[in-house]
Amino acid sequence: MKLTEKVAIVTGAGSGIGRTIAQLFAREGARVTVVDRDQYAGNDTIESIRATGGDALSFHGDVAKSGDVRTAVAATVKAFGRLDVLVNNAAVQVLAKLVETSEEGWDLVHNVNLKGVFLGCKFAIPAMVRTGGGSIVNIGSVLGLVGDPDLAAYCAAKGGVISLTKVAAVTYGPQGVRVNCICPGDVDTPLAQSYFAKDLDPDRLRNEVYSKYALRRIATTDEVANAALFLASDASSFITGSTLMVDGGLTSKCY
């Protein structure tokens, strides 16, 4: 029980990586606030946590809106008495090359993927400092370090997440707040499965993607969640400002 007596907020926890992280944290003893703008998806996550004896709170909100994020933090502290862990996971994608990216698409991606992380840190850090510190885990991406021609806005925003992680770590480390970033490659989520399924030859496309990885597969949501658990827990007590690659060796080679 690595998170016994801890209180955590996980954004974008209605599905995929966020849901798995919220479920794992609850199994490890944390009381968890599930934040998602899809209320039904968030409630599904809550029900799955409570079904296994966990303690969780559902919050319907948008991480790109300061009022929602402020309220989510306040509601968590009111319900559970403190805040120890924040996982900034919520994210969106807009598929477009740089010149073809609309201003609306650029703003959407940056408002959720980067501003959402900023707001999460802005309102969570004071709550953590009041009770002696805490741990923030930002979910970045390998695309914050390398480029994808079809995801210009996403790459730029995730690069910002990595830099913001370092800024927060060096600024609030003296007050006991650790801030780290996980950079996954492709992850086997419903979104990835639908991407493969839409191809004329799904098996061919899946094998092509797998071939790019040293481990010849993509990550499971459990593998990303386990990394988040490590960074959230006291097992990583001397780690801050770090970027943890959970990419199966994808970025370890040039060709």
Q: What is the predicted pLDDT for the residue at 243? A: 98
At the second CATH level, the architecture of 7-185+220-248 is 3-Layer(aba) Sandwich (3.40)
Q: What is the predicted pLDDT for the residue at 186? A: 97
CA-CA distance, 228 to 140, in Å (whole number)?
A: 12
Q: What is the predicted pLDDT for the residue at 254? A: 86
Mean per-residue pLDDT over the chain, rounded: 97
CA-CA distance, 18 to 24, in Å (whole number)?
A: 10
Exactly one of 154, 172, 195, 210 is catalytic; name it: 154
Q: Given the structure tokens 């979910």, which residue do they identify?
A: 139
- Which residue would you say has higher pLDDT here, 50 or 195? 50
Residue 252 has pLDDT above 90, yes or no: yes
CA-CA distance, 23 to 56, in Å (whole number)?
A: 10
Residue 255 has pLDDT above 90, yes or no: no
Sheet holding 7-11, edge to edge: 55-60, 31-36, 7-11, 85-88, 134-139, 177-184, 243-246
Q: Which pLDDT tens digit goes with each residue over 5-56?
A: 999 999 999 999 999 999 999 999 999 999 999 999 999 999 999 999 999 9
Q: Which pLDDT tens digit goes with each residue over 123-154?
A: 999 999 999 999 999 999 999 999 999 999 99
255 included as an active-site residue: no
CA-CA distance, 88 to 227, in Å (whole number)?
A: 14
Q: What is the predicted pLDDT for the residue at 52? A: 95
pLDDT band at 187 (very low <50, low <70, confident <90, very high): very high
Token pair for 188: 């086997």
Residue 184 has pLDDT above 90, yes or no: yes
- Dihedral pair phi/psi, residue 2, rounded to 5°: -75, -15
CA-CA distance, 200 to 202, in Å (whole number)?
A: 6
The percent of residues in the chain predicted with pLDDT above 70, rounded, is 100
